Amino acid sequence: MAPTTHSLRPLSCWKPIFRHTRLQPAATRSLTTQVQPKRTFEESRPFAPTRKSNFKIIGPPPALKFKEPIKDVTNAQLAILDPTSARSNLFSKTNPEAAHVGDILLVRLKTGDPFAGVCINIRRRGIDTGILLRNELTRIGVEMWFKIYSPNVEGIEVVQRKEKRARRARLTYMRKPKHDMGSVQNIVLAYQRSRGALRGSGGTGTLGKDEKKGGKRKVKGKGKSLILEHSDYPASVMADDIAQQLTIKMQLDKETGEMVSKNELKKRTQKRAKKAAVAARNGVSVSNPVQDPIPRDQLATAEEPVVDPDAMFKQGFLAEVYEQRPSKNIVTRFPPEPNGYLHLGHSKAITINFGFARYHGGKTILRFDDTNPDAEKEEYFIAIQETIRWLGFAPSEITYASDNFQRLFDLAEELVKQKNAYVCHCNEAETKLQRGGEKGASPRYRCAHANQDVETNLEKFRGMRDGKYAPQSAWLRLKQDIENPNPQMWDIAAYRIPKDQRPHFRTGTKWRVYPTYDFAHCLCDSFEGITHSLCTTEFLMSRDSYEWLNHRLVDFQPMQREYGRLNLTGTILSKRDIQPLIEEKIVRGWDDPRLFTLKAIQRRGIPPGALLSFIYELGVTTAKSFVDNRRFQQSVRQYLERSVPRLMLVLDPIPVVIEDAEEQDLDIPFSPKDSKMGSHKIRLTKRIYIDRSDFREVDSKDYFRLAPGKTVGLLQIPYPVKAVSFTKDEASGAIVEIKAVYDKEGKKPKTYIQWVPEGSPTAEVRIHTALFNSDQPKLVAGGFMNDVNPNSETIWPNAMIESGFYEVRRRAPWPEAEGEKLGEASLASVRFQAMRVAYFALDIDSTDDRIVLNQIVPLKEDLGKSSKG
Ligand SMILES: [Zn+2]
């Protein structure tokens, strides 16, 4: 055989061709393939002499009209949206003058106010190119995407360029607190001022101006283009105005935690109200899972416009309730059972019932539902009335369900005569069986007692009243509809003989039988002419029995409607749960500031107005809401921020001797924003006290407070101080004294710390954090008692507070609002912000010479940090 040579190699290429021919069917049977010409071996040969010349050679496709259609469309669009190419240039990668990430940009909008911020991302997507600006508004980090070619964007200006070009394409790391630039407001204002000056002398060289040439810019009316219009005003006016406008226009969407425009928020609110209303119409109780807490970085102290207290009556659920029965003379009622202290959830009930009537010019009756003498106490009657007054509401009259005992009894007899009620002797187990057994799976039936005649029933019912039956051996049942799917219609109880037979707070031993809530409540509503009986969705099923009874017994028909109850995460509200906490001495009592009874909320120093505005913010729907505790704190903080004075307080004082200080009086305003709050004097002494946590023996680069050789600012004092030496207690190692001097030459200090002069009063400060470790203490294995946070209270026994406190105490209540009016100051209405520490109120344990303070809320969400100062 010849050796394998190059010339033979192509043979291998023939293989597939041979295989192909082998696979060729000998004859084509299919009709559809019949017409195919048979391929011969010759034809299938790759380099057979082919009929090449027969092929029509098609040349290249005709030149397209557009080489790159997408690019062309983009360009066409850009020609319209960016005729001067100014915006493309501003973000072009080739333009050395272009804006980059890290620059501070100002975007002027056609509608709404301009927004400035650090550009942290540029997304180049042709016509869809966008920039992400980050700023801080009212101490909340806010980011906004702007499409640079959007017709709504009027102009983009570079306020400040980053000195060194950022090495990254995206500066998202700036979201971290460590790198956050915070507010760029001051830079923007300075820029606007200088620009205002430049404007007089000619060009500014910014994009905004280029566009003006194009005739696109229009300045219409005040507020449309806030910045340009105001640049002719004195700088201070402008600053205030802008700050105010920015604060008002951006609002926090409480449900998502985003900062959105006023319009957007309105839209969202309406959408949610609609959704809730649909759910209400369908009779569905939308059970909200735990609402998303506000993202952590947005939980900073923030000032927000005051919520319209009437908004919840003007729109949404309560507006619909009114429309269903637009009475001229609205009468509502608040019907607490006087068997415990009211809690946070009740404040919603109070606000809805009293507020609804007040908004429509009606009245509200406070009716004590005292139909259960076993649990009622006089102290609760008093506490409930005080709480309502504290919230700023006044009942038109105070009534008692017990006032109607005789009338109710007579109506029960009437019902017996109508054959709509019967006396039953079945016990609990039997009754359960009648109602379908444990799982409700077996058929429901009525007991033999249901067939008793009217005379027997009447006789037995009167016998119950007259003591013929032992407690719990007989009860009056409504004869409703056992087949009805609603358990509230399964012959529920109307009258019972209480087990303990304790004398009633108001009627003594006159009655042995008492009506149930289900029987008494609807009838009392009718007696009192209640037009709108508003209660929580727990009573949704009860509406059937409510109407069933009223239709049979009375003429005036009130209308019951149900709203979603307010619940807070991370705590417990019911009195049954709080009781063991008190018994185990985990809390100080019903009014312990860590609890959420209204007494506790009051003692903690939360102003009634803050509580109300929290409820106004939440609004009213049929959804049962679990509100995050942090959101509650945030709401309270916002309220306090604008309404209480500021003082300096040092939790753990150590002395600092400023060696070159001269004693002098300083006049210090109570509020940096509100001059109406007035001011007070502090004597600057040579020896002052600062917080132990604000001093370090060993300095480090990332530390900006006092350390040997380091300078720190002191609040309200013109010069910063520099520590020169310190002395330590040999035994304990604790710092005893620090010596310092003024640093009059140095740079502006990075941090200012609080201090108090020598001779300032001491105070015991109680700082509270969450009582439970988890958000759902009841779901913890072994029950909520296993979830108790052992460190929920920290006491600083030797804190010092500046003497301005005495004036705050003299001038309390702060603020003077709702149920706290001048002359009625409670200790808890002595409130202030201890700068850099927290918000505080005077505790009821205080006396004339002893100051005990409770933390109302921390300054920031981070509890650990703020309690340390
Ligand atoms: Zn029975």
Question: What tens digit of pLDDT does each residue of 174-196 get?
Answer: 888 777 777 787 788 777 776 66
At a CB cut-off of 8 Å and minimum separation 6, what does 168 contact? 101
Rounded to 5 degrees, φ, ψ at 412 are -65, -40
| Complete edge-to-edge strand list for the sheet that includes strand 493-496 | 421-424, 475-478, 493-496, 514-515
| CA distances from residue 721 to 17, 432, 699, 796 in whole angstroms, order as listed | 96, 77, 15, 26
| CA 31 / ligand 1 centre spacing (Å) | 87
Domains in the chain with CATH codes: 10-51 (no CATH), 82-252 (2.30.30.790), 331-563 (3.40.50.620), 653-753 (2.40.240.10), 762-868 (2.40.240.10)
Pairwise CA distance, residues 542 & 518, whole Å: 8
Catalytic residues: 337, 565, 575
Of 421, 431, 462, 453, the C-alpha closest to 545 is: 421
Q: What is the pLDDT of residue 221?
A: 36
| CA 451 / ligand 1 centre spacing (Å) | 9
Q: pLDDT grade, residue 59 (50/70/90)?
A: confident
Quote the tokens at residue 820.
Answer: 């706290």
Q: Are 746 and 664 in contact (CB under 8 A)?
A: no
pLDDT tens-digit map of 788-798: 999 999 999 99
- Please return the burial class of 462, using the count of CB atoms within 10 Å of its CB with bins 0-12, 13-18 and 19+: middle
Q: Examine the pLDDT at 330 and tell me if it is beyond 60.
A: yes
Share of the chain above pLDDT 70, in %: 80
Q: What is the pLDDT of residue 255?
A: 56
Helix (H, G, I), strand (E, B) or coil at 122: strand
pLDDT tens-digit map of 389-429: 999 999 999 999 999 999 999 999 999 999 999 999 999 99
Give the torsion sign (CA, 499, 501, 502, 508). Answer: positive
Quote the tokens at residue 235.
Answer: 């700088």
Of 266, 347, 740, the C-alpha closest to 568 is: 347
Count of C-beta atoms within a 10 Å radius of residue 490: 22
Q: Examine the pLDDT at 160 and tell me if it is beyond 60.
A: yes
| Angle, helix 185-201 to helix 235-249, in steps of 10 degrees | 130
Q: Which H or E element spans position 146?
A: strand 140-147
Q: Examine the pLDDT at 23 and tell me if it is beyond 70.
A: no
Of 380, 420, 387, the C-alpha closest to 548 is: 420
Q: Which amino acid is at 134?
A: R
| CA 449 / ligand 1 centre spacing (Å) | 5
Q: Examine the pLDDT at 671 and tell me if it is beyond 70.
A: yes
SS3 content of the chain, % helix, strand, coil (to 5): 35, 20, 45
Share of the chain above pLDDT 90, in %: 48
Pairwise CA distance, residues 770 & 571, whole Å: 8
| CA 373 / ligand 1 centre spacing (Å) | 25
Helices (H) and strands (E) in the chain, counts: 25, 34
Q: Are 549 and 414 in contact (CB under 8 A)?
A: no
Q: Which amino acid is at 573?
A: L
Report for 156-160, 218-222, 530-534, 809-813: range of highest mean pLDDT = 530-534
At a CB cut-off of 8 Å and minimum separation 6, what does 760 contact? 689, 800, 801, 802, 803
Quote the tokens at residue 497.
Answer: 């003989």
Gyration radius of the chain over CA positions: 39
Quote the tokens at residue 210.
Answer: 């280029």
| CA 743 / ligand 1 centre spacing (Å) | 90
Question: Which of 33-47, 49-63, 316-330 is the least confident region?
Answer: 33-47
| CA 513 / ligand 1 centre spacing (Å) | 18
Q: What is the pLDDT of residue 234?
A: 33
Average pLDDT over residues 698-726: 90
Q: pLDDT grade, residue 282 (50/70/90)?
A: low
| CA 426 / ligand 1 centre spacing (Å) | 4
Q: pLDDT grade, residue 623 (50/70/90)?
A: confident
Quote the tokens at residue 383.
Answer: 């506490």
pLDDT tens-digit map of 499-539: 988 999 899 999 999 999 999 999 999 999 999 999 999 99
- Pairing type for strands 250-253 and 258-261 reads antiparallel
Question: Which of 52-61, 443-452, 534-543, 790-799 is the least confident region?
Answer: 52-61
Pairwise CA distance, residues 797 & 852, whole Å: 9
Of 311, 236, 300, the C-alpha closest to 272 is: 311
Q: Examine the pLDDT at 200 and tell me if it is beyond 70.
A: no
Q: What is the pLDDT of residue 363?
A: 96
Q: What is the pLDDT of residue 864?
A: 42
Question: Which of 50-54, 140-144, 216-220 is the least confident region?
Answer: 216-220
Average pLDDT of the residues of the chain:
82
Region of residue 361 (left: phi > 0; alpha: psi -120 to 50; beta: else): left
Q: What is the pLDDT of residue 819?
A: 83
Pairwise CA distance, residues 410 & 415, whole Å: 9
Exposure string of 608-618, with b = 16+ CB inside 10 Å and e = fewer, is bbbbbbbbbbb
